[in-house]
A and B are shown apart, each in its own frame.
Chain A
Amino acid sequence: MTYIKTSSPKPGVVLIELNRPEKRNALNNATLQDIAACLQNLETDAAVKAVVITGNTQCFAAGADLNELAQLDVVSIQQDQRPLLWKKIDEFSKPLIMAVNGYALGAGFELALHGDMIVTGENAQFALPEIALGMLPGAGGTQRLARLVGQQLTMRWAMTGEMISAQSALQQGISSQVCPPALTVQYALELAGKIAKQAPLAIRAIKQSLKSIHEVTLSQGLKLERQHFVWLAATQDRQEGINAFLEKRKPEFRGV
């Protein structure tokens, strides 16, 4: 892993730090590949319950790698592996929290939008500046953002490239928490730590249930939710959860 650093600062929690500071963590193919490969490994590691991705205090990721992009013509772009890499990140089934300080621009913003939750520093700035380069966001930017904040703001932001402050990201529901930049990673890890203590199968069911909201109708979604609900009834963790509540003790979930 050349462009990322991984560590496990809390039980069950893995921290992935984008580590290409000289390029402001620009997401070249190799970095994206590192992230996708790393998540793929974590997917099957039962000890891992939640993952946090962050950049550094100045920059989450300042976009894609323009040198790489410039070399692609219409033919090679069709054979580009990047959509596949994004898909792999999207398919990660465990909770994925983005801890964003500083710039999250273009592909950096889109990476953040791949997270299930976003925690930002007060210095966070999001934008889709692709329009200034005569392009459009190509990794779900127009789609995921519009589903989060609606057409009005997404049109405006995608067509102007305007910066979105941490405060307005919070107000618009792009993030769930703003904190001082020096505490962003700590708070994201605390959030991940809380989740890591929950019943993994139920967490997985919640993520699946929520991720389907833009794929299916409400009645289909309610059906899926019900299926998850019924299925969880067969798990030992559910029994443990209920027993612990009735016995007024802390539950010990084992993911079974």
Chain B
Amino acid sequence: MEYQTIIVEEKNAVGYLTFNRPKQLNSFNETMHQEVSKVIKTWAKDSQIRTVVISAEGRGFCAGQDLNDRVVDPNAEAPDLGLSIEKYYNPLIKLITEMPKPVICAVNGVAAGAGANIALACDIVIAAKSASFIQAFCRLGLVPDSGGTWFLPRLVGRAQAMGLAMLGDKIPAERAVQLGMIWQVVEDEQLQAEAKKLAEHLAQQPTYGLSLIKKAIHAAADNNLDQQLILERDLQRLAGRSSDYKEGVQAFMQKRTPEYKGC
């Protein structure tokens, strides 16, 4: 399958999705939205793919919306910016957060606007030392979209979230780790290798169990403790029925390394 805006590779149970519009700093246009969502939808259902890595070509990660698609004629009627959010960005964020397997984001350069929030929607975010995050929306009179206003306060707390969203400063990767926005920073030349290592490790883990963890942690953001305790009970019931759990217990008893199948 040939794609115009992304590179897709499947290897060792890992799906690599690489944004490939480096000249436009990998900003999203319609084609890119369609291609990305198609690939992620396929992988969500493909039991052969047990971890997904999202990364990008060139010096930037993703600059969000391609503003060439949004030139505003001062005399024309106001554009409906909600349209592309409803049609593309929101479904994309839900695809990532509801994907029943780990999604790693390897941020190779600047992640701005929706590009930053797509990264934050992923489960484990690692960034190159030279990468940065910018909630650029406020500079244009806009609101952080693609989940930005939801992820930020949950990741870094309200005070930092307000600062990030209202000032739109460029946050270097190391500061992002300190704030708890992302998981890890690595040397630039190490980024792809680290992402691959992490992904290949996760792809051998009990995928179904990981998907339940992901579900529980996402639900925790909205649940009170009672609700969450009930959810944990339910998910543990389900996890207890999985063949990976059986394998895990057996391997422990037999003092060997478990071989997980992901179900």
Contacts and interface: CB of A to CB of B under 8 A. Distances in A.
B238 interface: yes
A111 B234 CA distance: 27
B167 to A, nearest CB: 35
A14 to B, nearest CB: 24
A57 to B, nearest CB: 12
Interface in B208-263: 234-235, 237-238, 241
Interface residues of B, number: 5
A70 B133 CA distance: 58
A183 interface: yes
Contacts, number: 10
Interface in A176-193: 179-180, 182-183
Contacts of B234: 179-180, 183
Interface of B is mostly: helix
A183 B238 CA distance: 8
B94 to A, nearest CB: 13
Place the interface of chain A in its size category.
under 10
A103 B96 CA distance: 24
Nearest to A187: B234
Interface string A37-59: 00000000000000000000000
A179 B230 CA distance: 9
A70 B43 CA distance: 40
Contacts of B237: 180, 183
A236 B237 CA distance: 39
Interface in A138-184: 179-180, 182-183
B90 to A, nearest CB: 15
Contacts of A179: 234
A179 B237 CA distance: 11
A74 B237 CA distance: 51
B217 to A, nearest CB: 16
Interface string B176-196: 000000000000000000000
Nearest to B215: A180
Contacts of B241: 182
A79 B209 CA distance: 54
A180 B234 CA distance: 7
A180 B211 CA distance: 13
Contacts of A182: 238, 241
B31 to A, nearest CB: 29
A167 B163 CA distance: 33
B17 to A, nearest CB: 26
B248 to A, nearest CB: 19
Nearest to B230: A179
A32 B234 CA distance: 33
A179 B238 CA distance: 11
A182 B238 CA distance: 7
A183 B212 CA distance: 14
Given A180-B237, A180-B238, 8 more contacts: A179-B234, A180-B234, A180-B235, A182-B238, A182-B241, A183-B234, A183-B237, A183-B238
Interface of B: 234-235, 237-238, 241
Interface of A: 179-180, 182-183
Closest 5 CB pairs of A and B: A180-B234, A182-B238, A179-B234, A180-B238, A183-B234
10 contacts: A179-B234, A180-B234, A180-B235, A180-B237, A180-B238, A182-B238, A182-B241, A183-B234, A183-B237, A183-B238
